[in-house]
Copies of this chain bind each other. A is one copy, B any other.
């Protein structure tokens, strides 16, 4: 159920941010933003590249990395180091929330955690690291993989 023509708020938010901060809005960046603004699959750069190439066959992987890096610099994308070796990206909701990753199929989902503010306070107090940003994840086995790998 994708709204093809009308810009969604998240799209527009990102486009405005790019303009406001002096970055340039290229067709490649626009296409990537439209692709990821409402994506909740936490894709890797490679996955973004593969999907983006379907509608923009000349785009390069370097540009994908470059654009994702820009969004991270703007605080509009959240890089997730959930498995060794690959970085996943959450462009939809760069605010603090938790993730669960399936040990079996690698799928990532969001979790709402009400206790995060307490954790942040406790951590700051205990370590002297001052204001601290959470990276909270859990691994388990997702319902789809349960029969295959109960561990």
Could you list which residues of chain A lie within 8 angstroms of chain B, going by C-beta atoms?
A: 79, 81-84, 87, 98, 100, 102, 109, 111-115, 118-120, 122-124, 126-143, 146
Decide if A129 touches B112 in the complex (CB within 8 Å): no
Question: Which B residues touch A81, using CB under 8 A?
Answer: 81-84
Decide if A126 touches B140 in the complex (CB within 8 Å): no
Of B119, B124, B140, which is within 8 A of A132 by CB?
Answer: B140
- Tell me whether A129 and B143 are in contact in the complex, defined as CB-CB below 8 angstroms, given that A83-B81, A120-B138, A136-B136 are known contacts: yes
Question: Which B residues touch A128, using CB under 8 A?
Answer: 142-143
Decide if B115 touches A130 in the complex (CB within 8 Å): no
Decide if B98 touches A123 in the complex (CB within 8 Å): yes
Question: Which B residues touch A100, using CB under 8 A?
Answer: 123, 127, 129, 132
Decide if A119 touches B136 in the complex (CB within 8 Å): yes
Question: Which B residues touch A127, using CB under 8 A?
Answer: 100, 109, 111, 140, 142
Decide if A123 touches B113 in the complex (CB within 8 Å): yes
CA distance A135 to B137 in the complex (A): 5
